[in-house]
Amino acid sequence: MRIGLDMMGGDFAPLEAVKGIQLYLAEQPSPAELYLIGDQPQVEQLLAAHSIPLTNIKLVHAEEVIGMHEHPTKALKEKQKSSIAIGFHLLASGKTDAFISAGNTGAMLVGALFSIKALEGVLRPTISTIIPKENGGTGILLDVGINADCKPEQLNQFAVMGSVYAQLILGIENPRVALINVGEEEGKGNLLAQATYPLLKQNKHINFTGNVEGRDIFLDKADVMVCEGFTGNIILKLAESLYEIAQRKKIQHEYFDRFNFEIYGGTPVLGVAKPVIIGHGISHATAFNNMIGVAQKMIDTNLLPKMKEELES
Amino acid sequence: MRIGLDMMGGDFAPLEAVKGIQLYLAEQPSPAELYLIGDQPQVEQLLAAHSIPLTNIKLVHAEEVIGMHEHPTKALKEKQKSSIAIGFHLLASGKTDAFISAGNTGAMLVGALFSIKALEGVLRPTISTIIPKENGGTGILLDVGINADCKPEQLNQFAVMGSVYAQLILGIENPRVALINVGEEEGKGNLLAQATYPLLKQNKHINFTGNVEGRDIFLDKADVMVCEGFTGNIILKLAESLYEIAQRKKIQHEYFDRFNFEIYGGTPVLGVAKPVIIGHGISHATAFNNMIGVAQKMIDTNLLPKMKEELES
């Protein structure tokens, strides 16, 4: 198993990426082979400084970097020697089995959607977020931003993809799938929610449990929560801001600590044919460690073939 | 000025309504005349028990009550002698100038939308919520649930109504109006947001400051935040649940105390021709007091004529 990692992506790269690799190698009994893509002299020096042996490591030099605020499509096209462009090239050509970056989110999405094929039958890939539940559990919410306008069929596919992810990666057996809505009963909601409900209800690949409202999102009502990317993105960013507000106001509580999205690593792009994980720009060592771990788990558990199977049959 | 109050609405009625009246009369130098609609013997007894003089009070007997879980349209039609039906009848016939209830929300909405005319020119009335800002200020978010699907023109009207409300009722001078969206720049968002942005930008009746994202909702980025009722309802209920979670987890902080929506009273239905305020089912004395106060302020400041003027010109 070969996992590509963009060493130049994120506000604290490459140092925190190196520290993340150190954590990963120390924890994993059978670590993947890591393809570290970035400024080779700088990466080599940091690896040496952290006494990281090169046993499971392959260095891939990238002489360019896509900045956090560059225009995604333009940058990817013009900077063919950037760590993100090379990372996708390695993944698309089968030289690696997964690709991770905490760099320019837009460029990662463009790369995932255009240089990696969609899983067969997938209308639109999606990105998700972990939702920390009040009772200590974790749920998953999707889509959180790449599909601002959705059709019912897309939400139905998000439900399947989220359900498989919850099972295999989060370890939730028979995950409860719910539709985010403004009321509990069938028939409630906007036109999209009204049209999506019957599809979810008839879908034999998921354990659909009905609607959940805004007040239920942090409660243990459902494991997989589905909505279009507009509402999902608002929820995600609002939840992220709660952590920041709690930090600034020095509100110390383990529950709010779980709104520190760094502890979950990045978000995988679901529905593309190979594992791609996008990290938050502020990723530190823990986030990098977790992202490599999730990528490994996605490969180990055959997540994508399993997803394809559930979507097709 | 005559304000109608449903004494039977809410989980703790009529006792908490009576206590709310007591607070109101003690605080207000020139209180409105209160029309107390409900079970007269019960209300009289409670007023006496709380030594409330009948100087500013008119008792209106209602022999029926619409329960919290009754079907709104059906209940309003069949229970003509209920406190809510009588309350709307008094308001529609000009015998009162405002109507307040913490009872069946659906029945209140149906009553407001069908027995009271919409303000001239208003496409769809709306309901809003107060948003407690991190810096201690308050913002207003609308729509929060009666318009799950919206057209750009409706959002544009919500912006005007919210802006007038923020000025006259919240006392915010030249309120900053923003569009809730998934990105900062013009052109971002779903089709609705993309189509709404230019309308808001051209609208001379508001101080439009651009898009705000989920992370900005609790920050001091804008005073009036506009979205369709689906997303707005999710945000409102999510915010309400935060207060409940903080309470259950015994997280004590003045910021989270401000998520106790009772302190703001109810939510007015904006865009109907007369002041109608809907309270939360769990309303206690403070909420009732605040609702009467808001109704009085809506009349005192000529909110509705002012709104009509801004929408028309």
**Which residues in chain A are closer than 8 Å to B184, comparing Cβ atoms?**
none
Closest C-alpha among B70, B69, B61, B103 to residue B277: B103
Domain spans, chain B: 1-119+271-301, 123-261
B16 touches chain A (CB under 8 A): no
Answer whether A214 sits within 8 Å of B238, measured CB to CB. yes
DSSP chain A: -EEEEETT-STTTTHHHHHHHHHHHHH-SSPPEEEEEE-HHHHHHHHHHTT--STTEEEEE--B---TTS-HHHHHHH-TTBHHHHHHHHHHTTS-SEEEE-S-HHHHHHHHHHHSPBPTT-SS-EEEEEEE-TTS-EEEEE--SS-SS--HHHHHHHHHHHHHHHHHTS--SS-EEEEE-SSSSTT-SSHHHHHHHHHHHH-TTSEEEEEE-GGGTTTTT-SEEE--HHHHHHHHHHHHHHHHHHHHTT---HHHHTT-GGGG--EEEETBSS-EEE--TT--HHHHHHHHHHHHHHHHTTHHHHHHHHHH-
* pLDDT tens by residue, B13-26: 999 999 999 999 99
For B228, the closest chain A residue by CA position comes to A190
Instruction: Decide if B252 contacts B103 (C-beta within 8 A).
Output: no
A116 touches chain B (CB under 8 A): no
Looking at the complex, does the CB of residue A195 fall below 8 Å from at least one CB of chain B?
A: no
State percent of chain B over pLDDT 90. Answer: 89
Read off the pLDDT band of B304 (50, 70, 90): very high
Q: What average pLDDT does range A134-143 have in this prediction?
A: 95
Q: What are phi and psi of A220, to 5 degrees?
A: -85, 50
**Rounded Cα gap, residues A90 and A93, in angstroms:** 5
Angle separating helix axes B285-300 and B15-27, nearest 10 degrees:
50
Which tokens is B85 given? 């039906």
pLDDT at A53: 95
Terminal Cα distance for chain B, rounded: 28
User: What angle do the packed helices B40-49 and B15-27 form, to 10 degrees?
Assistant: 50
Read off the pLDDT band of B265 (50, 70, 90): confident
Rounded CA separation B30/B267 (Å): 23
Closest residue in chain B to residue A246, using alpha carbons only = B255
If you average pLDDT over residues B169-183, what whole number do you get?
97
| Cα angle, residue B58 at apex, residues B52 and B59 outer, rounded to 5° | 90
Q: What is the mean pLDDT of residues A220-247?
A: 94
What pLDDT sits at residue B262?
A: 78
The nearest CA of chain B is from the CA of A133 a distance in Å of 10
pLDDT tens for A31-58 read: 999 999 999 999 999 999 999 999 999 9
The verdict on a CB contact (< 8 Å) between B215 and A248 is: no
C-alpha distance from B106 to closest chain A C-alpha (Å)? 12
Label residue B261 by pLDDT band (50, 70, 90).
confident
pLDDT of residue A163: 98
pLDDT in tens, B202-224: 999 999 999 999 999 999 999 99
Question: For chain A, how big is the Rg over CA atoms in Å?
Answer: 19
CA of A148 vs chain B CAs: smallest distance (Å): 5
For residue B256, name the pLDDT band (cuts at 50, 70, 90): confident
Residue A265 pLDDT exceeds 90: no
Q: What is the pLDDT of residue B257?
A: 86
Q: Does domain A1-121+271-313 have CATH number 3.40.50.300?
A: no
What is the average pLDDT value for chain A, to the nearest integer? 95
Residue B154 has pLDDT above 90, yes or no: yes
Question: In this predicted structure, what is the pLDDT of residue B297?
Answer: 96
Q: Residue A217 and residue B241: Cβ atoms within 8 Å? A: yes
DSSP structure class, residue B160 = H
A123-261: which CATH topology?
Answer: Isopropylmalate Dehydrogenase (3.40.718)
Asked if residue A313 has pLDDT above 80, the reply is no
Paired strand residues for B284: none
- Chain A, chain B: beta-carbon pairs less than 8 Å apart: 122
Q: How confident is the model at residue B198 (pLDDT cuts 50, 70, 90)?
A: very high
Residue-by-residue DSSP string for A279-295: --TT--HHHHHHHHHHH
Q: Is the peptide bond before A72 cis (omega within 30 degrees of 0)?
A: no
User: ipTM of this model?
Assistant: 0.93
Q: What is the reported pLDDT for A260?
A: 85
Asked if B251 has any chain A CB less than 8 Å from its own CB, the reply is: yes
- Predicted local confidence at residue A47, as pLDDT: 98
Which chain A residue has the Cα nearest residue B234? A214
pLDDT at A140 over 90: yes
Query: What integer is the mean pLDDT of B249-277?
Result: 89
Among positive and negative, which fits the CA dihedral A44, A46, A48, A53?
A: negative
Instruction: Say which CATH architecture domain B1-119+271-301 belongs to.
Output: 3-Layer(aba) Sandwich (3.40)
In chain B, how many H helices and how many E strands?
11, 11
A190 contact residues in B (CB cutoff 8 A): 148-149, 228-230
- Would you call A105 an interface residue with chain B, using a CB distance cutoff of 8 Å? no
Distance of CA A17 to the CA centre of its chain: 17
- Summary mean pLDDT of chain B: 95
CA dist list (Å): A180 to A167, A192, B61, B241: 20, 11, 42, 15
* Nearest-Cα residue of chain B relative to residue A194: B148
Check if A1-121+271-313 and A123-261 are the same fold. Answer: yes
What is residue A256's predicted lDDT score, i.e. its pLDDT?
A: 84
Q: What is the bridge-based pairing of β-strands B207-212 and B176-180? A: parallel
3-class SS of residue B297? helix
d(CA B18, CA B294): 17
In DSSP terms, which residues pair with A38 in a beta bridge? A61
State whether residue B22 sits within 8 Å of chain A by CB: no
For residue A282, the model assigns a pLDDT of 87
What are phi and psi for residue A167, nearest 5 degrees? -65, -55
pLDDT in tens, B25-77: 999 999 999 999 999 999 999 999 999 999 999 999 999 999 999 999 999 99
Q: Tell me if chain A has a CB within 8 Å of the CB of B229.
A: yes
Q: Kindly report the backbone phi and psi dihedral angles of residue B11, in degrees, each rounded to the nearest multiple of 5, phi listed first.
A: -65, -25
Q: Which residues, 6 or more positions from A22, have their beta carbon under 8 angstroms from its beta carbon?
A: A50, A52, A285
Output the CA torsion A199→A203→A209→A211 (10° steps): -20
pLDDT at B276 over 80: yes
Q: Which of B190, B180, B189, B232 is nearest to B210 (CA)?
A: B180
Q: Taking a C-beta distance cutoff of 8 angstroms, is the pair B26, B64 a contact? A: no
Summarised one tens digit per residue, pLDDT across range B89-120 is: 999 999 999 999 999 999 999 999 999 989 99
Contact check, Cβ <8 Å, A235/B234:
yes
Query: Does B313 have pLDDT greater than 80?
Result: no
Collect all residues with Cβ–Cβ distance below 8 Å to A211 and sequence separation of at least 6.
A178, A179, A180, A181, A183, A184, A185, A186, A188, A189, A193, A197
Contacts of B213 in chain A (CB under 8 A): 233-234, 237
The model's confidence at residue B312, banded by pLDDT at 50, 70 and 90, is confident
What is the per-residue pLDDT across A63-121, written as a single tens digit (0 to 9) for each? 999 999 999 999 999 999 999 999 999 999 999 999 999 999 999 999 999 999 899 99
Q: What is the pLDDT of residue B264?
A: 81
Nearest to B148 by CA among A225, A193, A149: A193
